[in-house]
Structure 1
Amino acid sequence: MELRHIRYFVAVAEECHFGRAAERLHIAQPPLSQQIKQLETELGVQLLTRSTRRVELTPAGARFLERARGILAAVDAAADETGLVASGLVGKVAIGFTGSATYELLPTVARALREDFPGIELELKGEMLTPRQVEALHDRSLDIAFLRPPVRDPELNVLVFRREPLIAVLPEGHELADRKSVSLAELQTEPFICYPSQHRSVVYDAVFDACQRAGFHPSAVQEVAETSTLVAFVAGGLGVALVPASVRHLHITGATYRPLSGTTEEVELAVATRAGEDSALLARVMPRLRWLLGGGRPAAR
C-alpha cells in the first residue's frame, strides 16, 4: 500500500465524486479510478459503491477513511516536526555536569534554556566525573558537558569560562569551624574525604598539589565519587574535604564551608562539545550558553 493510494482514497471519499477528486488532486480521472481499484484489490474489500451520479462509502470504506485520515495527519505532523528539528526549533539536548557544578550551574542553565527554548527537551545529568563526560560526548549520549580541564582531546571543543578557588568543608562541630578562614597546614592531621584518584578527578589532583605545597600529604584518604556524598561524609564527622567554591551552594546539615588562607589553588570549569558538530539545535543553544557563562576562552590542548 502506497501513501498516494491513501491520499487518493481520502479525496474521493470526501468529494463523493471521482471528477471533483481528480481536479482536487490535479490528476486525470481514469488513473484515479485505477488507483482506487488497486487499493481495493490489495485490501480485498470494496471501499466505495459507484453509480453514474454518486460515489458512496461502504461500511468498510467508512472505517478505512477514519484510519486513513489519521495516517495522513501523522505523516503531515512528522514532516512538520522534521522541519522544526532541522531548523533547531525542537529536539532534545543532553547536558552533563561535573559533580561540583551540579548544585549551582545545573539550575541556572536549566532555567535559562527552558525560558528561551520552550520547544527543546532538556536531559540533564548531574554528578558526572570528567572522564565519563568525555566518553559520553564521543558516544553521543551527551551533547554538552560541563567539566574540569585539562581535557586534551582534539575531537572536542573545550571552552574555559571560570576559575574558582578550593575551599574547605568542615564538620560544624570542628574546632576550626568558627574561623573565618582556615589554612591547609591546620588540616594536615585530619582524615580527608576526596574525589576519585587515578586521573578520574581533576579536583583530586588539585587537592593533593595544594597539600604538597603546604608541606604534607594526606595520610588517611577516603574516596567518594559524588559531591553530595562527599559533603555528607564530612557532615557525619568522617573527615574534612577540599572542594571547588561553587560546592558551597550545596547545603547539607552538619557541614560548613570556609575559605582557605595562604593558598591560591584554583580549578577551571569548562563547557565542551564535539568538534565539527553540525546540529542546528546546538547552533541555537550554544550562543545562549556562552552569553550566560560570560564568554570564556579555549582550553589549552
Structure 2
Amino acid sequence: MDLRHLRYFVAVAEERHFGRAAERLHMAQPPLSQAVRRLEAELGVELLHRTTRRVELTEAGRAYLERARAILDQVDQAAELARRVAAGAVGHLAIGCVGSVTYSLLPTLSRQLSAALPGVDFSFRGEMPAPEQAEALRTGAIDVALLRPSAADPSLVAHLLRRDRLVVALPTDHPLAGRRRVRAVDLADTDLIVHAADGRSVMHDVVLRVLRDAGVEPRIRHRVGETSTLVTLVAGGLGAAVVPEPVTALPLPGVVYRPLVQPATTVDLAVAHRADRSEPHLMRTVEVIRQLLAPAAKVRGAR
C-alpha cells in the first residue's frame, strides 16, 4: 500500500471535499480522486459517499480514518526519530571519569551534556582509574572515557583536553603545610600515600617518576584505589600525596594543598572512545566535552 494514498484519503475525509483536499495537498483533483478509488479497490470497501457537493464517510471510512491517522502519526514519528538519531540527538552513553574529574568536572559536565543533548540518556561512572577505563572502552562497558592517557593504544582514539598541574596534599599539621609551595626534594623524608600500582593507575607511575627524577626514593606508606580514599587518608594524618590540581575541588578538613615546584610537572587529561565507533550521538558528546574544557595548550593552575 502506498502511504500517499493514506494521506490523500485523510485529507479528503477531513475536508469533506475533493477540491479543497486537492488544494491542501497541492495537487490536481482528478489524480486525487483516482488515488482514493484505487485505495478503496485495494481494500475492497467503500470509504466515502460521494455527491456533487459533498463527501461523507461511510462507517468503514470512519473506522479506517482513525487507524490511518494513527499509522501516519507513527510514520512521521519514526522519520523524526531517524533524523534525530542521524543528528546525534538521541541514544544512551556511559561515561567513565577518573577521580579528579569526578569531583571537579562531573557536576558541570552532566549539566552541560543534558542541556546540549537532551535526547541522550547519560550515565556516569566515577573514580575509575585510567587502565580500568581503557579496558571498559574496549569491552563496551563504557562509551566515553575522561582519563589520564598512558601508552598509545591503536584500538582507542584520545583527544588531549588540557594539562593539569600537580599539587601536594598535606595534613594541616605537617611541617610542609606552612609553605606556599613544595619541592619534590622536600618529600624525601615524608610518608606518602599513592594510587595503586601494577598498572592499575597512571598517577602511580607519574608520581614515582617525578620523585625519582628529583633524586627522591619515595617512602610509600599506603597504596589506594580511589582518589577520595587517598585524600581521606591524608586528612587522617597518615601521609602526604601528589595529586592533579583538580583534586583540590574535594575539600576535606585536615587537608591543605600546595603547588608542586621543581619540577613543576603536569599530567594530561584526555577524552577517549573506541576507534571503531563513530555514532553521531557519541561524536557529538565528545565535541561537547572538548568545547567545555580548556584548550589543550592551557595548563590548569599555571600562573
TM-score band (shorter)? Answer: 0.7 to 0.9
The answer to whether 1:101 aligns with 2:66 is no
Provide the rounded CA distance (Å) in 2 between the counterparts of 1:193 and 1:277: 37
Check 1:66–1:141 CA distance in 2 against 1; reply closer, same or farther (3 A cut): farther
Q: Which moved more, 1:239-248 or 1:23-32?
A: 23-32
Task: Tell me if structure 1 keeps the 8 A contact 2:5–2:39.
Answer: no
Give the Å deviation of 1:150.
Answer: 1.4
Q: Which residue identity does 1:127 align to in structure 2?
A: E
Q: Which amino acid aligns with 1:177?
A: A
* 1:171-217: CA deviation from partner (whole Å, max 9, x where unpaired): 22334322222344554555433222211111011122234344323
1:163 aligns with 2:163: yes
Contact between 2:49 and 2:58, CA under 8 Å: does it hold in 1?
A: no
Task: Summarize the alignment of residues 119-158 of structure 1 with structure 2, pairs less than 5 Å apart.
Answer: 119-121=118-120, 123=122, 125=124, 126-158=126-158
Partner of 1:215: 216
Q: Given that residues 104 and 246 in structure 1 are in contact (C-alpha distance below 8 angstroms), is that contact kept between their aligned partners in structure 2?
A: yes
Structure 1 pair 2–50 and aligned structure 2 pair: CA distance change class (3 A)? closer
> Is residue 91–residue 121 contact of structure 1 (8 Å, CA) maintained in 2?
yes
- Aligned residue pairs total 285
State whether structure 2 residue 43 is matched by structure 1 residue 36.
yes
Aligned pairs for 1:38-117 (under 5 A) are 56=57, 58=59, 65-66=65-66, 68-110=68-110, 112-114=112-114, 117=116
Tell whether the 8 Å contact from 2:155 to 2:275 is kept in structure 1 after alignment: yes
Deviation at 1:138, TM superposition (A): 2.9
Further displaced range: 19-28 or 99-108: 19-28
Match of 2:249 in 1: 249
Displacement, 1:220? 2.1
SS of 1:258's equivalent in the other structure is strand
Q: How does 1:181-192 map to 2 (within 5 A)?
A: 181-188=181-188, 190-192=190-192
Q: CA deviation at 1:101?
A: 2.3
Deviates more, 1:12-21 or 1:249-258: 12-21
- Residue identity matched to 2:99: G
Q: Equivalent residue of 1:74, what SS?
A: helix
Q: Give unpaired runs (5+ residues) of structure 1.
A: 39-47
Aligned residue for 1:76, secondary structure, equals helix
Of the structure 1 ranges 163-172 and 103-112, higher mean CA displacement relative to structure 2 is found in 103-112
Tell me, yes or no, if the aligned pair for 2:187 and 2:216 is still in contact at 8 Å: no
Aligned equivalent of 1:45: none
**Secondary structure, aligned partner of 2:131:** helix
Q: Under a length normalisation based on structure 2, what TM-score does the superposition of the two structures give?
A: 0.72
Residue by residue over 1:39-58, the C-alpha shift from the partner in whole angstroms, topping out at 9 and shown as x without a partner, is xxxxxxxxx88767665454
CA distance in 2, matches of 1:103, 1:68: 53
What is the DSSP-based 3-state SS (H/G/I as helix, E as strand, rest coil) of the residue aligned with 1:293? coil
Percent identical residues: 41
* 2:225 aligned partner: 224
Classify the secondary structure of the residue corresponding to 2:219: coil
Indicate conservation of the 8 Å contact 2:235/2:254, yes or no.
Answer: yes
Which position in structure 2 is the counterpart of 1:43?
none
The Cα offsets for residues 47-75 of structure 1, whole Å up to 9 and x where unpaired, read as x88767665454x9767754553343233
Asked whether the equivalents of residues 164 and 267 of structure 1 are also in contact (C-alpha less than 8 Å), the reply is yes
CA distance in structure 2 between the partners assigned to 1:120 and 1:51 by the alignment:
45
Residues 1:234 and 2:241 are matched in the alignment: no
SS in 2 for 1:222: strand
**Would the aligned equivalents of 1:149 and 1:202 in 2 still touch at CA under 8 Å?**
yes
Label 1:132 to 1:286 Cα distance change in 2 as closer, same or farther (>3 A).
same
Q: Secondary structure at the match of 2:178?
A: coil
In 2, Cα distance between equivalents of 1:183 and 1:192: 14
| 3-state SS of paired residue (1:242) | strand
Amino acid at match of 1:84: R
TM (norm. structure 1) is: 0.73
* Cα gap change, 1:123 to 1:25, in 2 (>3 Å): farther
Q: Summarize deviations over 1:124-166 as a string: whole Å, max 9, x none.
A: 5232221232233334454432211214211222233433332
RMSD: 3.9
The runs of 5 or more residues in structure 2 that have no matched partner are 23-28, 299-303
Q: Which residue identity does 2:169 align to in structure 1?
A: V
